[in-house]
Amino acid sequence: MARLATVVLLALLLALEVGAPAPAAVAAPRPTAADCRVGIGPLTPPTGRPHYSLTVRVGAGLRAVAGKLTVGFAPDLATDRLVFRLWPNAAPYAKWGARLRVGHVVSGHETLAISRPNATTLVVARPLGAGERITVSMDWSLAPPRSHGLRLHGGSSIRLGTFFPLLAWEPGVGWAGMPLRRGR
């Protein structure tokens, strides 16, 4: 139960909307915004930001984490793709065995085309106009690094920060680290 509470708290601190029910294997009450006050009121995502919903399952021995991600997003500029960052695949984690894998990406009943230009980037081919909303879902799995000195690790505890696919959108700019291609 403490692991689920830690995951939920980290997700809320990242200004995420945790709306998915807890996995059946973890019998914990579903927190509400009122349960997560930090002096100034409930934590809610800023307007115009992606809204994430996660299910997270931490395996026995803390050697595997898996779940489902659903994210609603409306870019403020037109774009021809969605770009997700897979930070656990970055070199400092990968050299210790970390690996974030993503399954099919779907929107409604449509499976979307994906590409992986590098280890930390997942590109979903889907044109969107400025302000056009999309909701996509994907299953994911994470093998945490085998080192206790890293932010994500296995052992007697696990600390999950940017452990799931994250959209790399910068409002008013486009995709972080990539030139925005105008048009559809």
The pLDDT tens digits for 18-60 are: 333 333 444 445 555 554 444 555 566 666 789 999 999 988 7
The pLDDT tens digits for 121-155 are: 999 999 999 999 999 999 999 988 876 555 555 55
Query: Minimal CA–CA distance to 70: which of 54, 84, 58, 85?
Result: 54
Instruction: Please give the Cα distance from 128 to 82 (Å, whole number).
Output: 9
* pLDDT for res 5: 39
Task: Extract the tokens encoding 146.
Answer: 């085998």
Query: At residue 105, what is the residue type?
Result: V
Tell how far CA 116 is from the center of its chain. Answer: 16
> Across the chain, how many H-helices and E-strands are there?
2, 11
DSSP per residue, 42-98: B--PPTTS-EEEEEEEEPGGG--EEEEEEEEE--SS-EEEEEEE-GGGSHHHHTTT-
In the structure, what pLDDT confidence band is assigned to residue 11 with cuts at 50, 70 and 90?
very low
Whether this model's pTM surpasses 0.85: no
Instruction: Please give the Cα distance from 121 to 75 (Å, whole number).
Output: 18
* pLDDT for res 31: 52
Domain ranges of the chain: 2-175
**Residue 126 contacts residue 168 (beta carbons within 8 Å):** no
* pLDDT for res 159: 75
Q: Is the pLDDT of residue 100 over 80?
A: yes
Domain 2-175, CATH among 2.60.40, 1.20.1280, 2.60.60, 1.10.3470 = 2.60.40
Name the least confident of 118-132, 147-161, 165-179: 147-161
**Which run of H or of E encompasses 31?**
none
* pLDDT for res 70: 96
Task: Extract the tokens encoding 139.
Answer: 């299953």
Higher pLDDT, 182 or 164: 164
Query: Cα-flanking dihedrals φ and ψ of residue 73, to 5°?
Result: -150, 140
The pLDDT tens digits for 72-96 are: 999 999 999 999 999 999 888 888 8
Residue 179, classed as helix, strand or coil, is: coil
**Residue 139 contacts residue 132 (beta carbons within 8 Å):** no
Sequence-ordered alpha helix ranges (H) in 33-115: 91-94
| Distances from the Cα of 56 to the Cα of 8, 135, 179, angstroms | 9, 19, 32
* pLDDT for res 146: 75
